Amino acid sequence: MKTIEDLGDLRGKRVLVRSDFNVPLDGTTITDDGRIRAALPTLEALLDQGARVVVTAHLGRPKGAPEAKYSLAPVAARLGELLGREVALADDLVGDSAKATVAALQDGQVALLENVRFDARETSKDDAERGALADELAALADAFVSDGFGVVHRKQASVYDVAQRLPHAAGTLVLAEVEALRKAVEDPERPYVVVLGGAKVSDKLGVIGNLLTKADKLLIGGGMMFTFLKAQGHEVGSSLLEEDQVETVKGYLAQAQESGVEIVLPVDTLVAPEFGSDDFEVVAVDAIPAGTMGLDIGPRSAALFAEAILGARTIAWNGPMGVFERPAYAEGTKAVAQALVDTEGFSIVGGGDSAAAVRLLGFDEAGFGHISTGGGASLELLEGKTLPGIAVLED
């Protein structure tokens, strides 16, 4: 992939940057600005060169039309604070406000266009519709830099189609993400351990299937562990269970045994009568009481997982071990994160809830080998898929 340096002298040039500013909000307050901070190196590099930077990004899931609660206004304010300079916010994406805002930019200044998903063409399955939006975006710029790793697995106008219309390069974030994740996918230093959590097995079917040919150990926690436990014949009470995936999981367990990949499942769990209850007890996974649900891996499981992580040379983690937002059910996730900090191996935190957990639980991000900004994109790379937003840059 070409880098920003390959674009030549950018002074006075309008550079369209696709960033990922899909940050969590409490009203208009950003509760985790990690994705904004991750975008700074690319934006600062362009601004230092005297480029006129035009940023496009999305927030939330608007239905292809403007919705006030998904405005990028809070992002523009926070980005300005972090950059130490004003960030002009256009009222629209490619309309009169966007054109006027871009036209007013001077060298070394930055503007943010309003939420790209306020335009239904951004996510259209129709190539012509996406192309029409990409044409309008491309008309605002002289070059394109793709730096929103969290969306490179999407064939969308501001990610894929606009790159076909302008001289393009990967930003520093996308380059770092691809390098780190490919290190795990293509030639991991062994032992290679993957930790998977989160709610659903179905979200990770592809990655589990691919990792059974690549990893040495798979550690399974989070809500998805109960489908594995059910596949082993255990009763799981009222815990999260995907009954329709039990047979698939049985196949994975058999495949792992045949291929010599060790699947490590929890041996104990914290259970409570209902979600959100702090009235919990620790039980063995083969003794989950009827009418209770598991909300975190137990202390013996946490120690088991930490031991496996500390003995690895490459570790990829995607998905929390429990309901980490509640202190009572955060210990399993905290133990995994601490082991990743303590290991001498190369650790990858695979974006999404895992990255949010690291920050919420107070870990220093510098303690990890790489923290991804893209949950879905990092999963698809681990799955071995070709990502449209990466493939379009590789020419």
- The yes-or-no verdict on residue 52 having pLDDT over 90 is yes
**Runs of H (alpha helix) within the chain:** 34-48, 73-83, 96-103, 127-138, 172-186, 205-211, 225-231, 246-259, 299-310, 331-342, 352-360, 375-382, 388-391
Ligand-binding annotation for 22, yes or no, is yes
C-alpha–C-alpha distance, residues 7 and 372, integer Å: 25
- Which band of pLDDT confidence, cut at 50, 70 and 90, is reported for residue 205? confident
User: For the whole prediction, is pTM greater than 0.85?
Assistant: yes
Instruction: At 19, give phi and psi (nearest 5°).
Output: -110, 170
392 lies in a domain? no
Same domain membership, residue 318 and residue 273: yes
Choose one of 151, 176, 201: the last residue of a domain. 176
93 lies in a domain? yes
288 lies in a domain? yes
Same domain membership, residue 91 and residue 193: no
Do residues 290 and 271 make contact, with C-beta atoms less than 8 angstroms apart? no
Structure tokens at 145: 């830099």
Instruction: Give the pLDDT confidence score for residue 380 in this predicted structure.
Output: 87
Q: What is the pLDDT of residues 273-329, one digit of tens each?
A: 998 788 899 999 999 999 999 999 999 999 999 999 999 999 999 999 999 999 999
Q: Cα 239–256–268 angle (5° rounding)? A: 35
Please give the share of the chain, as a percent, with pLDDT higher than 70: 100
Instruction: Give the pLDDT confidence score for residue 183 in this predicted structure.
Output: 85
DSSP 98-160: HHHHHHT--TT-EEE-S-GGGSGGGG-S-HHHHHHHHHHHHTT-SEEEE--GGGTTS--IIII
Instruction: Give the pLDDT confidence score for residue 61 in this predicted structure.
Output: 94
Same domain membership, residue 35 and residue 60: yes
394 lies in a domain? no
Ligand-binding annotation for 58, yes or no, is yes
Provide the annotated active-site residues: 35, 200, 352, 376
Q: Is the dihedral angle over the CA atoms 234, 250, 182, 187 positive or is it negative?
A: positive
Q: What is the pLDDT of residues 144-199, one digit of tens each?
A: 999 999 999 999 999 999 999 999 999 999 999 999 988 888 889 999 999 999 88
Sheet of 281-284, strand order: 281-284, 268-272, 293-297
CA nearest 369: which of 354, 351, 348? 348
- The yes-or-no verdict on residue 92 having pLDDT over 90 is yes
Per the structure, the complete domain to which residue 313 belongs is given by 188-383
Same domain membership, residue 286 and residue 159: no
Ligand-binding annotation for 354, yes or no, is yes
Rounded to the nearest integer, the mean pLDDT of the chain is 95
Q: Angle 375-382/172-186 helices, nearest 10 degrees?
A: 30
In three-state form (DSSP H/G/I as H, E/B as E, the rest C), the secondary structure along 286-307 is: CCCCCCCEEEEECHHHHHHHHH
Same domain membership, residue 235 and residue 194: yes
Q: What is the pLDDT of residues 57-76, one digit of tens each?
A: 999 999 999 999 999 999 99
Peptide bond into 327 cis (omega under 30): no
- Which band of pLDDT confidence, cut at 50, 70 and 90, is reported for residue 350? confident
When divided into structural domains, the chain yields a total of 2
Same domain membership, residue 329 and residue 283: yes
Instruction: Give the pLDDT confidence score for residue 185 in this predicted structure.
Output: 82
Ligand-binding annotation for 60, yes or no, is yes
Same domain membership, residue 368 and residue 254: yes
390 lies in a domain? no
Ligand-binding annotation for 168, yes or no, is no
Q: Average pLDDT of 241-268?
A: 96
Same domain membership, residue 317 and residue 212: yes
CATH code, domain carrying 95: 3.40.50.1260
CA nearest 54: which of 103, 5, 21? 103
Same domain membership, residue 193 and residue 168: no
Choose one of 153, 176, 199: the last residue of a domain. 176
Choose one of 176, 206, 240: the last residue of a domain. 176
C-alpha–C-alpha distance, residues 374 and 149, integer Å: 6
C-alpha–C-alpha distance, residues 137 and 165, integer Å: 9
